[in-house]
């Protein structure tokens, strides 16, 4: 049985992934989104101090990754938490098509 939960149905308007380049969880989050064909903006908070400040403002913490999906925030997560978050978005927004 695959560990990946099928979560292909949300088509958000805006997805931003705040990452630190050396962060293993950040790479896993990018891979999770890529495997599902989800369009997102990857923001390196080490290279961009204003992005780092925004990540803290949105999440209330300094840990990465942080994902923002149409104003909904998930902070300091792994792939399982991301899958659960995505399923909650599907339920909340109706089962929309993936890109």
Please give the average per-residue pLDDT across 65-94, as a whole number. Answer: 91
Please give the average per-residue pLDDT across 41-64, as a whole number. Answer: 96
Does residue 4 belong to any structural domain of this protein? no
| pLDDT, averaged across the chain | 86
- Spatial separation of the C-alpha atoms in residues 99 and 22, rounded to whole Å: 28
Which residue bears the tokens 């942080």? 66
β-bridge mates for residue 27, sequence order: none
Determine the pLDDT at residue 41: 96
Number of domains in the chain: 1
Does residue 79 belong to any structural domain of this protein? yes
CB distance 98 to 37 below 8 Å = yes
Cα-Cα-Cα-Cα torsion 77, 78, 79, 80, nearest 10 degrees, comes to -80
Does residue 10 belong to any structural domain of this protein? no
Q: Which residue has the higher pLDDT, 36 or 5?
A: 36
Measured distance between the N- and C-terminal CA atoms of the chain, rounded to whole angstroms: 25
Residue-range definition of the domain harbouring residue 58:
15-92
pLDDT at 42 over 60: yes
Does residue 23 belong to any structural domain of this protein? yes
Does residue 99 belong to any structural domain of this protein? no
pTM value?
A: 0.82
Q: Which residue has the higher pLDDT, 11 or 59?
A: 59
Q: Report the CATH number that the domain containing residue 33 is assigned in CATH.
A: 3.40.30.10
Does residue 97 belong to any structural domain of this protein? no
């Amino acid at each position: 049985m695959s560990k990946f939960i099928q979560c292909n149905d949300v088509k958000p308007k805006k997805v931003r992934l705040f990452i630190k380049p050396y962060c293993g969880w950040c790479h896993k989050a990018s891979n999770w989104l890529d495997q599902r064909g989800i369009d997102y903006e990857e923001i390196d908070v080490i290279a961009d101090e204003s992005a780092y400040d925004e990540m803290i403002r949105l999440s209330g913490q300094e840990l990465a990754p942080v994902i923002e999906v149409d104003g909904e925030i998930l902070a300091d997560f792994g792939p399982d938490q991301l899958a659960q978050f995505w399923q909650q978005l599907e339920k909340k927004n109706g089962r929309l098509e993936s890109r």
